[in-house]
């Protein structure tokens, strides 16, 4: 009788050792697959094979946390519940942090399963599993539940690492995109100061982030004429920078062959439409000045009006059209023309100058800006721009919410 008991005990011990060996082999295979960066669907398939064939689990649901909700990434056996139904079960289980029996549970869905397996990391729930049609009992039960939890935990850690790796790659890609955008934009920015007999120019550019959507340009067309532009493209990043690069190249090319600003703006609109399919638009102020005739021609395309200061008075230059890139054909287009008196100052800016956090319109707005131009319009362009930025820092307590570009010209 004693020999029979010894034999039975030895058989159980051998069976337990063989089972442990099988478990280790299973974990080893999964770990090897993870180290080889095996795709997630293959890892899930390996998990299901182990549960079905080795542990004889007839019903299984595996849910992982994604942005505050749970997504079922593996399911087999029984009637498949909806994602909403499975998410609802978490409300009954979120305080359980170790494998628990579900038989006889008050919830109708959970009562159809045998066990609940939670996966936590530092008190944060990462995943959980529901197991049904699982008949293991006795001494092997705790061993099997712990093995299942360990196996699922290994899979979850692998999924988390894949997620972190993807996020890291995305962050690196975004960082490189921003670096490229900054490089592109730096190539677009012309000289910040320019001075010759007929004109003096000063520009200030303050991006809200590393890369902004503002653009300004100033270049001579011939001995008698020069052209300048201030623009703001919708959006940020490398796509906005590339659009501005294309815009600059198009502007320089068109300005070299077209005398009429109206034609230039119409063709720029078609170029932007073709390149962006109407998904982005550009506001701009474009002007050409002839030093011999003292005539200024300009078009304001949905941009903040350039302010002309002369003899103590200010005139906002508003004639033009709507933003370009929004319509296949511009609905209207009016070119402005004005004779400039010697010493006239033209102040160009983008909307970031007017948009601040917690802005008080009584302290800063278009009326206050006009008052400032009248009070400081006799300053040189560089001193004017410096005084304006100092004034804003004194009277406006909030921070700018967009890029700020100033382009100020004094005509002799």
- Same domain? 336 vs 201: yes
CB 266 within 8 A of CB 330: yes
> Could you read off the pLDDT of 181-197 as tens digits, one per residue?
666 666 666 556 677 77
CB 336 within 8 A of CB 297: yes
- Same domain? 153 vs 201: no
Q: What is the 3-state secondary structure (H, E, C) of 269-306?
A: HHHHHHHHCCCCCEEEEEEEEECCCCEEEEEEECCCCE
Inform me whether the pLDDT recorded for 16 exceeds 60. no
- Same domain? 346 vs 243: yes
Considering the domain boundaries, does residue 180 fall inside one? Answer: no
Q: Which has more confidence, 213 or 6?
A: 213
The arithmetic mean of pLDDT across residues 250-257, rounded, is: 93
- Same domain? 310 vs 384: yes
- Same domain? 223 vs 156: no
- Same domain? 108 vs 230: no
- Same domain? 144 vs 199: no
Residue 102 burial (CB count, 10 A)? 21
**Domain containing residue 67:** 12-167
CATH of the domain at 346: 3.60.40.10
> How much is the pLDDT for 263?
96
> Could you read off the pLDDT of 323-380 as tens digits, one per residue?
999 999 999 999 999 999 999 999 999 988 888 765 666 778 889 999 999 999 999 9
The arithmetic mean of pLDDT across residues 234-247, rounded, is: 77
DSSP assignment of 61-101: EEEEEETTEEEEEEEESSSPPPHHHHHHHHHHHTT--S-EE
Structural domain count, the chain: 2
Considering the domain boundaries, does residue 181 fall inside one? Answer: no
> How much is the pLDDT for 161?
87
Q: Which has more confidence, 133 or 399?
A: 133
> How much is the pLDDT for 206?
79
Tokens of 387: 């005084």
Percentage, residues of the chain above pLDDT 70:
86
Inform me whether the pLDDT recorded for 129 exceeds 60. yes
Place of tokens 């997630």: 40
Q: Which of 167, 200, 221 is the last residue of a domain?
A: 167
- Same domain? 97 vs 237: no
Distance CA 349, CA 303 (A): 9
For residue 382, what is the enclosing H or E element? helix 381-395
The arithmetic mean of pLDDT across residues 135-144, rounded, is: 76
CATH of the domain at 71: 3.30.450.40
Chain centroid to CA 276: 18
- Same domain? 279 vs 374: yes
- Least trusted range by pLDDT, from 48-52, 244-248, 337-341: 244-248
- Same domain? 264 vs 360: yes
> Could you read off the pLDDT of 89-103 as tens digits, one per residue?
888 888 888 999 998
Average pLDDT, the chain: 86
The alpha helices in 58-195, defined as continuous H runs, are 83-93, 139-188
pTM: 0.61
Q: Which has more confidence, 213 or 284?
A: 284
> Could you read off the pLDDT of 61-87 as tens digits, one per residue?
999 988 778 889 999 999 988 888 888
Considering the domain boundaries, does residue 179 fall inside one? Answer: no
> How much is the pLDDT for 208?
61
Considering the domain boundaries, does residue 126 fall inside one? Answer: yes
The arithmetic mean of pLDDT across residues 375-396, rounded, is: 92
Inform me whether the pLDDT recorded for 1 exceeds 50. no
Considering the domain boundaries, does residue 284 fall inside one? Answer: yes
DSSP assignment of 334-381: --EEEEPPTT-EEEEE-GGGT-BTT--TTTSSHHHHHHHHHHHTTS-H
> How much is the pLDDT for 178?
64
- Same domain? 111 vs 243: no
- Same domain? 254 vs 331: yes
């Amino acid at each position: 009788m004693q020999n029979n008991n010894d034999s039975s005990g030895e058989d159980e011990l051998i069976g337990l050792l063989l089972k442990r060996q099988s478990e280790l082999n299973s974990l080893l295979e999964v770990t090897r697959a993870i180290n080889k960066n095996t795709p997630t669907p293959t890892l899930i398939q390996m998990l299901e094979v182990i549960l079905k064939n080795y542990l004889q689990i007839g019903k299984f649901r595996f849910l992982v946390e994604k942005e505050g909700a749970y997504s079922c990434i593996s399911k087999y056996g029984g009637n498949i519940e909806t994602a909403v139904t499975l998410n609802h079960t978490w409300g009954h289980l979120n305080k359980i942090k170790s494998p628990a029996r579900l038989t006889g549970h008050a919830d109708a869905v959970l009562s159809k399963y045998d066990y609940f397996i939670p996966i936590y990391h530092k008190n944060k729930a990462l995943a959980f599993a529901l197991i049904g049609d699982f008949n293991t009992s006795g001494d092997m039960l705790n061993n099997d539940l712990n093995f299942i939890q360990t196996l699922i935990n290994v899979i979850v850690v692998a999924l988390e690492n894949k997620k972190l790796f993807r996020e890291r790659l995305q962050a690196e890609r975004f960082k490189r995109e921003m670096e490229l955008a900054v490089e592109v934009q730096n190539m677009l920015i012309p000289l910040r100061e320019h001075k010759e007999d007929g004109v003096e120019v000063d520009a200030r550019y303050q991006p809200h982030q590393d890369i902004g959507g503002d653009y300004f340009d100033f270049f001579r067309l011939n001995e008698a004429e020069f052209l300048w532009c201030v623009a703001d493209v919708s959006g940020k990043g490398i796509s906005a920078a590339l659009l501005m690069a294309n815009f600059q190249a198009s502007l320089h090319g068109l300005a070299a062959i077209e005398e009429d600003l109206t034609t230039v703006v119409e063709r720029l609109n078609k170029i932007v439409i073709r390149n962006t399919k109407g998904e982005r638009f550009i506001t701009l102020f474009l002007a050409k000045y002839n030093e011999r005739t003292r005539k200024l021609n300009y078009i304001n395309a949905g941009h903040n009006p350039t302010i002309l200061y002369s003899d103590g008075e200010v005139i906002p230059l508003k004639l033009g059209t709507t933003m370009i890139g929004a319509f296949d054909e511009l609905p209207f287009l009016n070119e402005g023309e004005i004779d400039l008196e010697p010493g006239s100052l033209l102040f160009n800016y983008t909307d970031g100058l007017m948009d601040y956090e917690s802005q008080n319109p009584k302290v800063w707005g278009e009326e206050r800006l006009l008052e400032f131009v009248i009070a400081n319009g006799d300053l040189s362009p560089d001193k004017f721009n410096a005084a304006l930025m100092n004034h804003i820092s004194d009277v406006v307590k909030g921070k700018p919410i967009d890029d700020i570009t100033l382009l100020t010209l004094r005509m002799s």
